[in-house]
Amino acid sequence: MAHPFAQFHYCPKCGSSHFVENNGKSKRCLDCGFVYYFNPSAATVALIENERGEWLCVRRAKEPAKGTLDLPGGFSDMYESSEEGVVREVKEETGLDVDRVEFLFSIPNQYLYSDFLVHTIDMFYRCHVKTGKTAQAADDASEVLWLSPEDINPDDFGLKSIRLGVERMLEMGGPR
């Protein structure tokens, strides 16, 4: 795949077409001097375990990797923290209310969205959900599944960073 800069032809500040590569991380406008640094987008992943030790997984309703397993999560919105983003994403995809989050680790990723390669930093969180509600698939999830760790095959997860995160969680013994 081409470097992400190949898709940026105009200066986002003044609109000039004299927008050239400055170095491997930035482009510079020859007209107004603006330097744009290409940084990853923040994304979140929720690792939720029930009282039986099963993990909450969802089936992707949309591309990329439609139909494969995933963990609840998604992009953080502007003006929200990563923790607020994971809470919102869990609510949108499962209807569950998260009352506690704990950062675990992060994995860099590339996410193809509408033929545009988005570089992300996927932040994995252990999430505790309030009891009394049943998870229901919504938004980007077509199905909600509670799977025992011994029944989880990382290869069933369609996104590379999620697959790597699941492998890491299985090695660690789960989200507890």
102 is catalytic: no
Are the C-beta atoms of residues 128 and 134 closer than 8 Å to each other?
A: no
In the block, tokens 């744009």 appear at 36
Residue type, 103: F
From residue 38, alpha-carbon distances to 13, 23, 25 in Å are: 14, 11, 6
Distance CA 124, CA 70 (A): 13
Which residues, in sequence order, are bridge partners of residue 110? Answer: 119
Residue type, 151: D
Q: Among residues 54, 143, 150, 171, which one is catalytic?
A: 143
Distance CA 7, CA 2 (A): 9
From residue 6, alpha-carbon distances to 20, 35, 117, 120 in Å are: 10, 16, 11, 17
Instruction: Say whether 156 sits in a helix, a strand or coil.
Output: helix
Report, as residue numbers or ranges, the catalytic residues. 143
